[in-house]
Structure 1
Amino acid sequence: MEKAGGSRPSLPRAQTVQLSGEGSMTSTPAPPVFKRGNSIQLPALPRLIRFALLIALDVAVFWLLNRLASLGYYPLMAAVLIITLFVNFVLIRREAYPLRWMLIGLIMMGLFTIYPIIFTVWVAFTNYGEGHLITKKQAIDQILDLTYLPPSGKAYSWTAFRSDEGDYALWLIDAEGNAYLAKPDEPLSQPQPGEMGVGPLDARGIPESIEGYRRLNQIQAATDRNLKNIKFGEEGKTIQIRSPSEAAELLPLYVYDPDLDAMINQETGVVYKNLRGTFTSADGKTLRPGFIEFIQFDNFRDFFISPALRGPLLRLVTWNFAFAFFSLLLNFSLGLFIAILFNDPNFPLKKLIRSLLIIPYTVPALITILIWRGMLNPDIGVISRFLYSTIGWSPQWFTDPWWAKIAILLVNLWLSYPYFMLICSGALQSISEEIYAAAEVDGANPWQKFWRITLPLLLVAVGPLLIASFTFNFNNFNLIYLFNAGGPPMAGTPTPAGHTDILISYVYNLAFSGSRGVNYGFASAITIIIFFIVGTITLFQFRYTRMWEEVGENA
């Protein structure tokens, strides 16, 4: 017993076990119980190995972060840094021990799911796109590399020499026939054969050899990527290779003024100020390349109020909603009609015909869309030729805006009605026949039974699927792109757009296939707008789904 006022560590109690067939009792110690607060210490060697691997990982990530920073990939650098800190937390902190079993999956989710979403949001607030793909520092460095030949500058013919250590020298001959030896960071010299290691001259006055250097032929010199970047001669009067046959005393064409945030042309004196990531002069001339710059809500503002984009965007948004709505209405109506038709137990050959009607759902949509595109071809398509031979006229499925939209809805109807036929067939089986019997007693006709019983109870079951179908069709890129790529094209639009384009295909054209240059920033902004549109519609439709459930409960 424990003495009053004292305490002692609790020891595991002995367990008394009755052995069958014997009258004796044996006691065995119980396994130790680890209470909260106790910790299981790993052996020293595994812990050292774990920390050594973690340190090696951190060093590798530190090198990668420096590399990403030098390239200007700051969003990816931030993502890698956050993931690395998270990995360190999980591997070091004991309370995060359960997360170790999910660590690889969490890293993949962060890199390939969360990071692309965050990066898309970041891009939406920038001018990232054609001509603006690099950082400001990289753009300034490229512009400052441009040179010009001042009026007082001299031009030379040149021959290159290279040492085994990778050092270069030029033999220069000016217009008067004077020869010079040029090396980086050294003044020009005029050595004679035998001086400074210069060997005998050939018929053109070029040394056959220079001590420590090897003469490069024209092909070797033209393919050497280092030569054009080397400045020969002393500082302030350097000579650079200008062409395969000419070197000259070139000067930087532009200088950067950080106070004005502008480039100044030293030859003409024109000032190019930073305007949304592009150095632009007062008369509208620009310097390339531009650079990525944060432009706040300009992309969203252009989407809503830009006069140039208002016309095509208004038509695109209207058609996008109409396409999703009419696709859902037609597909659901045809699928429900077939399901009700085959719900009659006396319908002949029901199983065979139902199996045949499911075939469009089993064929990959890619193949089906391409087949329909061929059948509607105005020259060789089966449907077009049949209509023309029968009634002497065939719709212009690919050139007329209205018939192109009808063709899109027709192909989508073929692709989707089997799906609604299947789900409606299953949902109809859940409606009790007793309800219909009671309605018949009350004198309800078939039309009233459909509107008052079948449809409300059916919507309770398929309502969420209808919402999912509307959302899918709102972003049904494959159908639009594969059938006619959004055509026919709209005339006079500042960005590429077609009459059957929906927002997602328009975003694709902006981001990847724009003939006037891609615009990732604007495309990302539209993507975010699409997300909020679809989210709002989904929430709105879920409200009505709850209303349908209330109808079903009261039925």
Structure 2
Amino acid sequence: MSMNNNNASSSAAKDPSPTGLLGRALAAAAVLALLWVVYGMVAAGNPLWAVAALVIGGLAIWVYTASTSLAWRYLFPGVAAMIIFIAFPLLYTVQIGFTNYSASNLLTEDRARAYLLDQADIDEAHAMSYTVHRAGTQVRLALQSDVESGAQRWVSPPLDLSKPLPADATADAAAVALAPANASSEAELGEALDIRGVIALRDGLRSLKLQVPGGAVLAYAGLREFGPFTPVWQAQPDGGLKQVATGLIFTPDRDTGYFTNAQAGRLQPGFKVGVGLANYTRLFGDPDMRGPFASIFIWTVVFAGLTVVFSTAIGMTLAVLLNWEALKYRTLYRTLLFLPYAVPGFISILVFKGLFNQNFGEINAILDAAFGIKPAWFADPTLAKSMLLIVNTWLGYPYFLVLCTGLIKAIPADLYEASAIAGAKPLTNFFKITAPLIVKPLTPLLISAFAFNFNNFVLISLLTDGRPDYLNTKLPAGTTDILVSYTYRIAFTDAGANFGLAAAISTVIFFLVALLSLANLKLTQSNDQRKA
């Protein structure tokens, strides 16, 4: 059998038919395309991405051209997608958790240094106003310094500014030489462009450097002026930066990720460096952060747990009641009770946000008319948490209603008939027959629901946005925040975009959810073994 497979593969490789030639041509084209992509990534300064693309692309080409295993041709897309969309983001998030990556530390050290070295100040005293004139399909610039200084006008040769000049044309040695204006050159100038025409050539003007004979190199300083620029920073041999105006030396501090000076402090932007376990130490060791984090973690567990308890209790109760055959219009009741699950969740959440409005909501209008109270649902932490549980229970009970209805239908009717003969009451049937028979298959689903609500970001974000906030905290934290919304606020909103700290919290959440998934798997396996 093995010899037959080898012969088949070798004959396919040597197949001179048009189909075989087309296959080899497509494989060669795929290899060339892969090498082109990898080269582009390396040229863009992303060698790690290039290696990853080369490995995955090379495996794909091998699987679909040289591999003799048909199974891998079906499995490879799923395995590759799992690596790209699950494993890689997970490992990347974990890696970020060990860095100071944030809004202030986005760049690498080299890019942060290059950004600072590109900074320059215009010398306003020697700036020149300019006009742009048509010269056939090209343009010419006429520059005029301050009239009071007696400086003469300067004229450029014809230039093509329809597109930016190449990068090497921005060097001083390649600057366009200006010539003194005279009667002849003035006469050769065409009509001056209006401001709209100058704006259309702005990209070309920005890349233009002009050299005054015996003077400084002028660069674009706006729609009205060209002028000489003085660098703000000078590179130092040890990798530091010297401030030209003050002579201060800023050295790279690779512990904090900033160019620092003992007298002047640190420069922005900073750069990304590894900080080890600093984010985790801050998360669990900083008293000012440990307090909110511990409270948020406890509330996350309570929120997820109570949501599952309330939703299960209501859904199971309704399922038992709707299973009563003597009840009329059971189908209508099931349809009406299932509606909260059929309506998109974000719509229901926004509707409830209006219903719970303290001044104009219908819920407070009813409470005010009946009891003379208007609870501050969004301002009081306890009421806000109660509101979240109410809304989430409303959104979740139809799911358990459907589950329990199906499980109850699977219970043999003989058990209830025997119980009726024995004279058992409905509560006895529920606690002795219904609950024991549905709780085991329902347990893994309860754990899944707990894990889902553990990361129920949409409800928190749309209904309370984590508010009301804790006071006197280093990072913004809300009393109704759960871990995932707390992480989002740290990473993307009003906490300074601290991606490293947010990644550390995300890693903690991942391991917590992974433990829940493992428990779910164990319970599922245990139930399967009992059934067997």
Q: Where on the TM-score scale, by shorter chain, does this alignment land: which range? A: 0.7 to 0.9
Shift of 1:468: 0.7
Counterparts of 1:161 and 1:351, CA distance in 2: 80
2:408 to 419, 428, 431: 428
Q: Which secondary structure does the structure 2 equivalent of 1:497 belong to?
A: coil
Q: Does 1:334 align with 2:306?
A: no
323-332 or 281-290, which deviates more = 281-290
* 2:100/2:273 contact within 8 Å kept: yes
2:385 is aligned, of 402, 405, 414, to 405
Within 2, Cα distance between the matches of 1:199 and 1:108? 69
Partner of 1:318: 298
Which range is displaced more, 223-232 or 399-408?
A: 223-232
Partner of 1:527: 506
Partners of 2:321 and 2:422 in 1: CA distance? 24
Q: Distance in 2 between matches of 1:455 and 1:337?
A: 11
In structure 1, the residue corresponding to 2:96 is in which secondary structure?
Answer: helix
Does the CA-based 8 Å contact 2:176-2:209 persist in structure 1?
no
**Equivalence for 2:116:** 143
From 211, 236, 244, the equivalent of 1:257 is 236
Aligned counterpart, 1:185: 173
- Show the counterpart of 1:176: 149
Deviation at 1:385, TM superposition (A): 0.3
* Cα deviation, residue 378, structure 1: 1.6
Where does 1:343-492 land on structure 2 (aligned, <5 Å)? 343-347=323-327, 349-432=329-412, 451=431, 454-492=434-472
Say if 1:121 and 1:436 are closer, same or farther in 2 by CA, change over 3 A: same
CA deviations 1:510-552 (Å, max 9, x no partner) are: 333x1343233333332222110111133345556677788x7
Given the two structures, how large is their TM-score scaled by the length of structure 2?
A: 0.80
Match for residue 98 of structure 2 among 108, 116, 125:
125
Alignment-derived partner of residue 252 in structure 2: 274
Structure 1 range deviating more: 294-303 or 391-400: 294-303
Structure 1 position 38 matched with structure 2 position 7: yes
**What amino acid is the match of 1:298?**
A
Between the aligned partners of 2:215 and 2:468, the Cα distance in structure 1 is 59
Cα displacement (A) at 1:440: 9.5
Q: Retained in 2: the 8 A contact 1:79–1:115?
A: no
Give the distance between the partners of 1:164 and 1:450, measured in 2 at CA: 94
Number of residue-to-residue matches in the alignment: 507
Gapped runs of 5+ residues in structure 1? 1-31, 201-206
C-alpha separation between the residues in 2 aligned to 1:541 and 1:284? 56
Higher helix share: 2
SS of the residue 1:272 aligns to? strand
Following the alignment from structure 2 to structure 1, what is the Cα–Cα distance between the partners of residues 178 and 483? 69
CA distance in 2, matches of 1:49, 1:547: 53
Determine whether 1:539 maps to 2:518: yes
Secondary structure class of the residue paired with 1:538: helix
Say what the alpha-carbon RMSD is for the aligned residues.
Answer: 4.1
* 3-state DSSP of counterpart to 2:149: coil
Distance 2:265 2:207 in 1: 27
2:97/2:504 contact within 8 Å kept: yes
Residue 203 of structure 2: SS of its match in structure 1? coil
Question: Deviation string for 1:75-111 (max 9, x for gaps)?
Answer: 5444423322222322442335554456666655554
Deviations 1:363-400 (A, max 9, x none): 22222222222221222222110011110003211111
Structure 2 stretches lacking a partner, 5+ long? 157-171
1:518 to 497, 509, 512: 497
- CA deviations 1:285-305 (Å, max 9, x no partner) are 443334444444433333222
Does the residue aligned with 1:496 lie in a helix, a strand or coil? coil
- Find the aligned partners of 1:396 and 1:37 in 2 and give their Cα distance: 77
SS in 1 for 2:217: coil
**Against the structure 1 CA distance between its residues 342 and 303, is the aligned structure 2 distance closer, same or farther, given a 3 Å change threshold?**
same
Structure 2 CA distance for aligned equivalents of residues 444 and 75 of structure 1: 70
Q: Greater CA deviation, 155-164 or 34-43?
A: 155-164
The alpha-carbon distance between structure 1 residues 49 and 426, as it changes in their structure 2 partners (threshold 3 A), is closer
Q: Displacement, 1:321?
A: 0.6
| Structure 2 residue aligned with 1:10 | none
What secondary structure is seen at the aligned counterpart in 2 of 1:421?
Answer: helix
CA distance in 2 between counterparts of 1:285 and 1:462 reads 60
- Residue 53 in structure 1 maps to residue 33 in structure 2: no
**Aligned residues of 2:357 and 2:377 also touching (Cα < 8 A):** yes
Q: Which residue of 1 aligns with 2:267?
A: 287
Q: Residue 184 of structure 2 corresponds to which residue in structure 1?
A: 199
SS for the counterpart of 1:250 is: strand
d(CA) in 2 for partners of 1:238 and 1:494?
49
**Contact 1:75/1:119 (CA < 8 Å) preserved in 2?**
no
Task: Note the C-alpha offset of 1:473.
Answer: 0.7
Contact 1:89 1:96 (8 Å CA) reproduced? no
- Checking the alignment, whether the CA contact within 8 Å between 2:259 and 2:267 is kept in structure 1 is yes
Cα deviation 1:403-459 (Å, max 9, x = unaligned): 111011111111111221222233234445666788899999876765565434322
For 1:166 and 1:119, the matched residues in 2 are separated by: 50
Q: 3-state SS of the aligned residue for 1:491?
A: coil
Partner Cα separation in structure 1 for residue 347 and residue 175 of structure 2: 71
In structure 2, what residue type is equivalent to 1:282? A
The structure-2 alpha-carbon separation of the partners of 1:235 and 1:406, relative to structure 1 and needing over 3 Å to count, comes to farther
| Cα distance between partner residues in 2 of 1:295 and 1:488 | 32
Given that residues 155 and 178 in structure 2 are in contact (C-alpha distance below 8 angstroms), is that contact kept between their aligned partners in structure 1? no
Distance in 2 between the 1:351 and 1:190 partners?
A: 89
How far apart are the structure 1 equivalents of 2:52 and 2:136?
Answer: 43
* 1:420 partner amino acid: F
TM-score, L = length of structure 1: 0.77
Query: Is residue 89 of structure 1 aligned with residue 62 of structure 2?
Result: yes
- Alignment partner of 2:235: what SS? strand
The structure whose Rg is larger is: 1
1:302 aligns with 2:302: no
Q: Deviations over 1:174-223 (max 9, x none)?
A: 663233759853799895555xxx735xxxxxx4547xx99766655565
